[in-house]
Amino acid sequence: MGYGDDLLITSLAAKIKKKYPDRQIIIGNKKKNYASHSPIYENNPNIADCRNLNNKKPIHLLDYHEANRPYIDYKRSTPNNYVWRNFRPIPGEIYFSDQEKKEANKIISEAKTFWVENHNREFLSIIFIETSSTKINDTQFSIKHKNKDWGIQNWTNLINKLKNDYLIIQSSHNETKNIDGIFIPQKTDFRIACALLNEVDFYVGPEGGFGHVAAALNKKAVLYFGGWISPDVIGYDFHENLYYEDKQSPCGVKLKLCEHCSKAREKISVDLFLKHIYKISSS
C-alpha cells in the first residue's frame, strides 16, 4: 500500500473541494498528526500541503491512511491475509509540473534514439512496463509482494516476444531488473515515472501504483492481478485485468509464500498477456 492508495483518494478530494472551495483538504488521521505529504499530491489544487496550512482557513480531514482503506474488510481480515470489501475505484488525479513534463519528454527522446540505434524499422507503439515492485525485498512487505509477483522469468519471456516490435521503456528503481532490448532510463523518482507514463501509448505491469496512475491518465493497460486481489475490488473496467479464477481467489495472503499465488503465475501465461497487449495495441 503506497502511492496507488494515495492516488485513490484524490477523486474524492476533488469532489469535496468543489463543494467546499474554502476548505483546506487534508488526507490522513488527526491522531497521527495528519498525514505526511505524499508526492502524489504535489501540485494538486484540491489537496492542502499539511506542512504549510493557513490557520485562518477551515480544515477538512479525509480520514484515509494505511489502517483505513475502503477496499479492505478489517473485521474479517486476519493477521495472515486480507479480506476484501465490495469496492470500485474511481480514477484519481495527478498534476505534473512543467519541469516533470520536460524530463519525461527528454526520456522519450532518448528512448527513441535507443530504438533507432538497435532497429531498422519503426516501432508499433511505446509501452511503459514495470516488472518488479519496489517493495519486493522490503522487510515488512516482501512476502505480500512476492505473492503478487508474476515472476521475472515470465516478464523476460514476455519482453523477448515484444521488444522487436514495440519500444519498451522500463520503470527505473532499486529493484529494477535489467532485461536486454528495452530502454531503462537513469533512476527516476515516482513522479517522473508517472509523467513518463503519460507520454507513452499504454502500460503493462502488475496491479498496483502504476495501474492507478494509468487510470488517472486515461491510459490503456494490461495488468497482472494473479489471484491475490480481484479486479472486481480494485480494477478499472477500461483496463485489461488478468486474474486467476479459482475458489481460493482472491487470497490476500501476506505473511507466507502462497501456493495458490504460485499457481496463478503458471496459469496466467505469456501468450495470454500477448493476446491482451495485441488487443489494446490495435484498438
Please give the pLDDT value at position 156: 95
For the residues of 78-129, what is the DSSP string, one character each?
-SSB--BPP-----------HHHHHHHHHHHHHHHHHHHHH-SS--S-EEEE
Residues 42 and 102 in one domain: no
Rounded mean pLDDT of 129-157?
A: 86
- Is residue 75 in some structural domain? no
CATH code, domain with 214: 3.40.50.2000
- Is residue 260 in some structural domain? yes
35: pLDDT strictly greater than 70: no
Residues 147 and 7 in one domain: no
Is 30 in a helix, a strand, or coil?
Answer: helix
Residues 161 and 103 in one domain: yes
Residues 130 and 261 in one domain: yes
Is 1 in a helix, a strand, or coil?
Answer: coil
What is the reported pTM? 0.94
Of residues 207, 212, 180, 204, the one with CA closest to residue 91: 212
Residues 226 and 142 in one domain: yes
Residues 55 and 106 in one domain: no
- Is residue 103 in some structural domain? yes
- Is residue 13 in some structural domain? yes
- Is residue 88 in some structural domain? no
For the residues of 43-90, what is the DSSP string, one character each?
T-TTS--TTS--TTS-EEEEE-BTTB-TTB-TTT--SSB--BPP----
Residues 259 and 119 in one domain: yes
Count of domains for the chain: 2
Structural domain span for residue 201: 98-282
Please give the pLDDT value at position 98: 97
Residues 171 and 247 in one domain: yes
Q: Which amino acid is at 32?
A: K
- Is residue 81 in some structural domain? no
- Is residue 80 in some structural domain? no
Sequence length of the chain is 283
- Is residue 68 in some structural domain? no
Residues 16 and 136 in one domain: no
Contact (Cβ atoms closer than 8 angstroms) between residue 166 and residue 222? no
Residues 53 and 114 in one domain: no
For the residues of 205-274, what is the DSSP string, one character each?
EESSHHHHHHHHTT-EEEEEEETTS-HHHH--TTSEEEE---TT-S--B-SS--HHHHHHHHHS-HHHHH
Model confidence pLDDT, tens digit, residues 69-124: 999 999 999 999 999 999 999 999 999 999 999 999 999 999 999 999 999 999 99
